[in-house]
Each structure stands twice: as structure tokens, then as C-alpha cells.
Amino acid sequence: MSLLDLVRSDLRDFGGYGSARKTGLKGSVWLNANESPWASPADPGQSLNRYPEPQPAALKARLAALYKVREDSVLMTRGSDEGIDLLTRALCRAEHDAVLISPPTFGMYAVCARVQNAAVVSVPLVDTGSAFRLDVDAVLRALELSVAKAPIKIIYVCSPANPTGAAVALSEIERLLIGVAGRAIVVVDEAYAEYSEGKSALSLRPRFDFLVVLRTLSKAYALAGARLGITVADPALIRVLNAIAPPYPLAQPAVALALEAVAESAADEARRRAGRIVVERERVAAALAGLSGVLAVYASDANYLLVRFADAEAAFQGLLASGVVVRDQRAQPGLGNALRITIGSVEENDALLSALKALEVTRA
């Protein structure tokens, strides 16, 4: 089966909107895009009166070098959320196809499927008590069963998993890809990969056309506000996604920031900071495990910890009263007593631990 066989038939040869910048024309007097000839008084000198490149060549080259992939396998989007949305719309026919998720997991996979009116098949992660793991065998069984119902077109693997924290071993991702055998694409969301010691699924890309990897500059590269995600896939699929993407997805100021953020010295600093977060993660995990109100602290390869509390409501409200905001996960399947805690600076983490210790004293 060809990769493009999984794409909606009406989109395989779709050219998309031919924007003024997409034509690639060169010139010095620009009168083809109905832009203002004058820069805004608020413009910091970035020529924001002109539309930006749809896929800025300099940034694409730098990201391809960073991830050690071909430039034509890279698509830049407004965060990974847009990459997920584009994949869902490109592959899933409304009321006919499905995506597979492994809850508890990142909510945008199901949200994008619902907007596209695609079915969502759930194969829960397995809670071992100390970590959550992907059940590859159950995923493959669900893929087989889906053929007679809504065919699964996309299998989402979040690694490190959000909100549970554990990365999926590369050998398990490879086993999944072999078992899928081109019947669906496997999307490995590596938003938190920089905090993990495991090898990236990007290393499997040359061998598996049906593998898509999502990366982002929002986390370790500290550009959450700039909204820049990266989809790495077979060039044929990238062309389809690019055709249905908005004509100008990336704002020029965000592109300028991203170019600086992934320059060699800044990228080195991002790696150093990620290492500091890992050290803090282990310190905070040990401290949390020593609190009487904590039932479990799950193993994490990301910049957060999933924690079960004897009284999660009291912990959540008590932290809020101290000015510490964490993520309530109690609405997620199987996480009725869990909170997700981001690892911050030493001072922020100490504030968290002090607030939780104070709650213990109050209850005593």
C-alpha cells in the first residue's frame, strides 16, 4: 500500500490556495498581494506590512539540521496542535474513518477528530502502579477490528506521554510500525523529547514511510508564546498537508525568534536547561513521595510529574490558595485522584513543596 492511499482521495492531488508568496516570484516592487506600501508605526523593523513566507526556507533548513532530517520532510505549523488538525483532516473522511488514542493522553487528538467528525477508538494505557505503558498488542488488535467498522487511519503515540510522563521505548514503536504494516499512519508526538534519555522516533523515519513525528519549540526551547510546531513525515504527505494548511501560518516575529532559538548557542542552552529540569524532576519526585498525602508519583521522562493524592481536591485548592497552579487531571480516564505538576525553577518547586507540607501540618 502507498502512503497516499491513506490520504482522502479528494485531497491527494489538491493544490490548495495559491497565495501571493507561494508563487515564488522575485521582484523589488511588490504589487501582487494588496499589502500596504508603508510599514506600521508599531513595526520594529521587520517589514510586517508584507506577508511572510508560508514555509520560511532559512528556518526549515535550520530545523532540518537540528532534527537531522531532510528539508522536504518538514512542515512548520502554529504549534503541534495545527499539525494534528491537518493530519486529521487530510486522512479522515467525516463519519467514515477513525483515529486511535491511548488515554489518559493529550486532549487535542480527540478534539481534532471530533471537529472532523471522525470516530475515536480508545486503547487505554496500562497503569503498572509506578508508570503507564502503551499496550502495543491491544492497539494492533483494535486496528484489526476497525476494518469492519470505521477504519483507523491515524494511531497517536504520545512519547513522553502527556499527562502520565513515561516515554515509549523505541523498540515498542518499531514493533507497532511493523504490526501496522502501512494500514494506518503512526504519529509519535515528541513534544517533551528533550527531557527524555530515550532515542527519538526520528531515527526510525528513514525505514518507515508511515511514521510521522511531531516536535515543538514550545517546551525545551521556551517559545510557547511564539506557537511553532514541526511535523516530520514522508515528503509526499508533507505536500498534502502543506496544500490544506493556511496560506501564511507563521507570523514573521515568531519566525525571527525561532531562528535565534535554534541557533547553535541557543540550542546548547536549551539542552542545558532541559538537564537542569531533569535534575529538579528527580528531586521533586523524591520529596513528593515522602509526603503522607501522596499515594503515587509516576515515573516521568518529561518536565512534569503525575501525582495521585489521598485528597486531590484538598491538594488542588490548597495549592491555589498558596498561589501555586497545577493541572487538574481528575476528568481524565483512570485519573480520578491525580494532578499533573510541571517542574519549574528551584524556587517555584520549593514553593510547591512548602505549600503541600503546610497542608499536611494543617490536616494533622
Residue where a domain stops, chosen among 218, 243, 262: 262
The mean pLDDT of the chain is 95
Across 148-177, b (16+ Cβ under 10 Å) vs e yields eebbbbbbbbbbbbbbbbbbbebebbbebb
Residue where a domain stops, chosen among 262, 281, 301: 262
Q: Which of 86, 161, 140, 91 is nearest to 119 (CA)?
A: 91
The answer on 144 and 274 residing in a single domain is no
The pLDDT-based confidence of 30 (bands split at 50, 70, 90) is: confident
Q: How many other β-carbons are positioned within 10 Å of the β-carbon of residue 221? A: 24
For 139, residues 6+ apart whose C-beta sits below 8 A from its C-beta are 100, 102, 123, 155, 176
d(CA 23, CA 26): 9
Across 63-95, b (16+ Cβ under 10 Å) vs e yields bbebbebeeebbbbbbbbbbbbbbbbbbbbbee
The answer on 75 and 203 residing in a single domain is yes
The pLDDT-based confidence of 24 (bands split at 50, 70, 90) is: confident
The answer on 159 and 49 residing in a single domain is yes
pLDDT digits (tens, 9 = 90+) for 137-175: 999 999 999 877 899 999 999 999 999 999 999 999 999
Range of the domain at 335: 266-363
The answer on 253 and 187 residing in a single domain is yes
Tally of domains in the chain: 2
pLDDT(332) > 80: yes
The answer on 283 and 243 residing in a single domain is no
Q: Which of 143, 213, 235, 149 is nearest to 183 (CA)?
A: 143
Residue where a domain stops, chosen among 242, 262, 282: 262
Predicted pLDDT at 3:
93
Burial of 39 (0-12, 13-18, 19+ CB in 10 A): middle
Predicted pLDDT at 361:
58
d(CA 119, CA 148): 13
d(CA 204, CA 156): 16
Ramachandran angles phi, psi of 177, nearest 5°:
-60, -40
The answer on 282 and 196 residing in a single domain is no
H-helix or E-strand containing 295? strand 294-297
Q: Are strands 152-158 and 132-133 parallel, antiparallel or unpaired?
A: unpaired
